[in-house]
């Protein structure tokens, strides 16, 4: 009896939390100014991409090319305090609808409120991909099977979301060295990663996964691994306007969404179809960007606790070590248990 009452109370609390998040999102629309709205031209059946970004002219050409090739039909993007031509560039893209804001990224729960609003308004009953510009989604057979094939497979298996591990890629040699040209394939420079160790637990009451470990933790959070980055995400979801992301795409409500994936097969034994977000944070501009973001204080709930991280990056360390593995593609990641094909062979 007590367990049943506790479960009902937890479910009630999660419903209230989800409604509060949706209310925040709806209110946040007043912070967004339309730059160009082409949503009326989106044909039925398109997969939509949602992104918030700031000064990403270097990454945008490859980002757009990659996701267009995967079958994204329209991009809904929020430009936050951009000053490098990002807004002007995106305005010219025929498959982009763009909003701008100078409001606080941190106060918007790191852009989640803005994207929850756009998903509420435009994403209902559609497959929606939510990614940062430094995240490149890959999945089994991604070069020959687009997102329409992937979502069809997910629906056939009864899944409403695709789980994905965020995998940090880094160069061999000091950060900030080398050159990168807009549109270039990032893995030509960032071609190493940590194959292990990783660990995963469930957190209550949302039942969300908490996956940690890997290169950033090894390099910058070795003395306080509990502050290391969260690596699990649910970037692709068959959206319902009653859904809400709670913490970036790391967790969502209702809680059943968080049970769509239990983490990499190597850690959890979960053999369901999953993907990997190749994290291209460590391109050569990372040193300059880290100096700026430390001053802005917009990327962490308690920025002062991450000063050592920024200082570590600004010091341009070499993240490579003896157990680093050279990135070779999705089959390699499946063999390592970091992504799974499910029964999609």
Q: Is residue 264 part of a domain?
A: yes
Q: Is residue 27 part of a domain?
A: yes
pLDDT value for 292: 72
Q: Is residue 72 part of a domain?
A: yes
What whole-number percentage of the chain has pLDDT above 70? 95
Residue 6 has pLDDT above 90, yes or no: no
Q: Is residue 343 part of a domain?
A: no
Domain limits at 19? 13-335
Tell me phi and psi for residue 97, to 5 degrees: -110, 135
| Opening angle at CA 270, ends 193 and 264, nearest 5 | 10
The 8-class DSSP code of residue 225 comes to G
The DSSP result for 259-279, as a single string, is GG--S-HHHH---S-EEEEEE
pLDDT value for 294: 67
Q: Which long-range CB contacts under 8 A does 6-13 form with residues at least 24 apart?
A: 10/204, 10/205, 13/205
Q: Is residue 7 part of a domain?
A: no
Mean pLDDT across the chain: 94
Q: Is residue 58 part of a domain?
A: yes
pTM of the model: 0.95
3-state secondary structure of 154: helix
CA-wise closest residue to 195 among 324, 332, 329, 335: 324
Q: Is residue 225 part of a domain?
A: yes
3-state secondary structure of 123: coil
3-state secondary structure of 120: helix
| Alpha carbon distance 226, 224 (integer Å) | 5
Instruction: Domain count for the chain, please give it.
Output: 1
Residue 133 has pLDDT above 90, yes or no: yes
pLDDT digits (tens, 9 = 90+) for 107-126: 999 999 999 999 999 999 99
């Amino acid at each position: 009896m007590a367990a049943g009452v506790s479960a009902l109370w937890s479910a009630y609390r999660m419903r209230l939390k989800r409604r509060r998040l949706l209310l925040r999102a709806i209110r946040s629309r007043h912070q967004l100014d339309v730059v160009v709205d082409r949503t009326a031209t989106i044909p039925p059946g398109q997969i939509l991409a949602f992104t918030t970004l700031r000064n990403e002219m270097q990454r945008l050409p490859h980002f757009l090319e990659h996701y267009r090739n995967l079958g994204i039909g329209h991009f809904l993007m929020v430009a936050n305090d951009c000053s490098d031509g990002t807004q002007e560039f995106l305005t010219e893209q025929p498959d982009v609808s763009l909003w701008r804001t100078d409001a606080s990224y941190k106060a918007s729960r790191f852009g989640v409120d803005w994207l929850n609003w756009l998903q509420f308004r435009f994403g209902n009953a559609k497959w929606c991909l939510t990614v940062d510009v430094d995240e490149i989604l890959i999945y089994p057979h991604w070069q020959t099977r687009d997102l329409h094939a992937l979502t069809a497979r997910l629906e056939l298996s009864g899944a409403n979301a695709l789980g994905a591990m965020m995998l940090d890629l880094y160069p061999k040699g000091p950060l900030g060295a080398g050159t990168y040209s807009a549109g270039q394939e990032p893995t030509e420079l960032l071609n190493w990663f940590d194959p292990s160790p990783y660990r995963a637990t469930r957190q209550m009451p949302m039942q969300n996964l908490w996956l940690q470990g890997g290169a950033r933790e090894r390099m910058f959070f070795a003395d306080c691994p509990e502050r290391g980055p969260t690596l699990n995400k649910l970037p692709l979801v068959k959206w319902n306007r009653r859904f809400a992301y709670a913490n970036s795409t790391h967790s969502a409500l209702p809680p059943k969404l968080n049970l769509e994936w239990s983490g990499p097969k190597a850690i959890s034994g979960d053999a369901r179809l999953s993907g990997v977000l190749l994290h291209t944070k460590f391109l050569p501009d990372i040193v300059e960007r880290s100096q700026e973001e430390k001053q802005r204080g917009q990327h962490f709930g308690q920025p002062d606790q991450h000063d050592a991280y920024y200082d570590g990056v600004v010091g341009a360390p070499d993240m490579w070590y003896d157990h680093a593995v050279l990135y070779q593609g999705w089959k390699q990641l499946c063999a390592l248990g970091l992504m799974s094909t499910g029964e999609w062979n």
